[in-house]
Amino acid sequence: MRQIILDTETTGLDPNQGHRVIEIGCIEMVNRRLTDRHFHAYINPERAIDHEAIEVHGITNEFLTDKPNFAGIVDEFIEFIRGAELIAHNASFDVNFLEAELKRIPRAPSMVDLMYGGAPVDTLAMAKEKRPGKRNSLDALCRDYKIDASERTLHGALLDAELLTRVYLAMTREQSRMFGGSENLQQGSRFEPIQKLTDAARQQRVIPPSDEELSNHQAFLDTLRESKADIVWDRSQS
């Protein structure tokens, strides 16, 4: 299974109000193992960035002046994520922004077409299910899963994707062990891999009914016959 852990930074909160993607960070995993491949791009949004957004990620309009627009990076981005399972924190935010960007590109595929299964894995929803009543921001998850996030003084798409990769592996570690995975496992997990039985190890065991069970079965059939019911047992014996 090929998985892409993705994060974006944007000019604001709502693509429907014309806000744009300004940074994309993607990390690749195959069969729950990190590869050496990633995708990272800063993007000129061709519009002003909200001051509140700059306070979150620290990316300024001046910094993005000489960066390509989304059309300039779209082919490489599409090629990188195509066919992979997409994983993101509060995934609808990232996917909705990327969908809005793709719609501006003639003949570009949709995010639904690009993602394996047509929908992302949302680690925020996963965390809320596993940790009801707890804080489930990326910072909180890093703290609770003992993941070093000391470099994260501001949001950044690639750094956040790297941290989310570690969080995702931590949250799904026991599940992986249940199904026999040996990678990225936590020592001392209470789960042991499920062993698949081979045909050679299987022996059919036949337990014949006792005399009492046969007698009870016959009495039950006689009762049904008296009620003139259509008994499948009788038809199968004829």
Write out pLDDT tens, residues 197-208.
444 444 555 677
C-beta atoms surrounding 126 within 10 Å = 18
pLDDT band at 182 (very low <50, low <70, confident <90, very high): very low
Instruction: Tell how many helices (H) and how many strands (E) occur in the chain.
Output: 10, 5
Residues 22 and 92 in one domain: yes
What is the total count of domains within the chain?
2
How far does Cα 55 stand from its chain's mean position? Answer: 29
Residues 105 and 55 in one domain: yes
Tell me whether residue 147 is in a domain.
Answer: yes
pLDDT at 149: 87
Q: Please state the φ and ψ torsions of residue 71, each to the nearest 5 degrees.
A: -60, -25
Neighbouring residues of 145: CB distance < 8 A, sequence distance ≥ 6? 166, 167, 170, 171
C-beta atoms surrounding 80 within 10 Å = 19
pLDDT at 228: 65
Strand 2-10 and strand 85-88: the pairing is: parallel
pLDDT band at 13 (very low <50, low <70, confident <90, very high): very high
Residues 159 and 226 in one domain: no
pLDDT at 151: 80
Q: Is 38 helix (H, G, I), strand (E, B) or coil?
A: strand
Longest dimension (CA), the chain: 92
Residues 66 and 159 in one domain: yes
pLDDT band at 218 (very low <50, low <70, confident <90, very high): confident
Residues 85 and 140 in one domain: yes
> Tokens standing for 228?
């003139």
Domain that holds residue 50: 2-171
pLDDT at 215: 84
Whose CA is closest to 6, among 106, 113, 78, 69?
78
C-beta atoms surrounding 206 within 10 Å = 4
Give the pLDDT mean for 208-235.
75
Residues 124 and 212 in one domain: no
Neighbouring residues of 54: CB distance < 8 A, sequence distance ≥ 6? 60
Does 155 qualify as catalytic in the annotation? yes
Q: Which of 51, 57, 155, 217 is catalytic?
A: 155
Residues 160 and 212 in one domain: no
Tell me whether residue 189 is in a domain.
Answer: no
Backbone φ/ψ region at 174: left (φ over 0), alpha (ψ -120 to 50), beta:
alpha
pLDDT at 65: 97
Question: How much of the chain, in percent, has pLDDT values that exceed 70?
Answer: 82
Provide the CATH number for the domain around residue 109: 3.30.420.10
Q: Which of 16-20, 92-96, 171-175, 194-198 has the lowest mean pLDDT?
A: 194-198
Residues 54 and 114 in one domain: yes
Q: Exposed/middle/buried for 16, CB within 10 Å: 0-12, 13-18, 19+?
A: exposed
| Digit-coded pLDDT (tens) for 47-105 | 999 999 999 999 999 999 999 999 999 999 999 999 999 999 999 999 999 999 999 99
Residues 24 and 109 in one domain: yes
Residues 133 and 214 in one domain: no
Tell me whether residue 178 is in a domain.
Answer: no
Residues 213 and 157 in one domain: no
Rounded CA-CA distance 42/64 in Å is 7
Tell me whether residue 186 is in a domain.
Answer: no
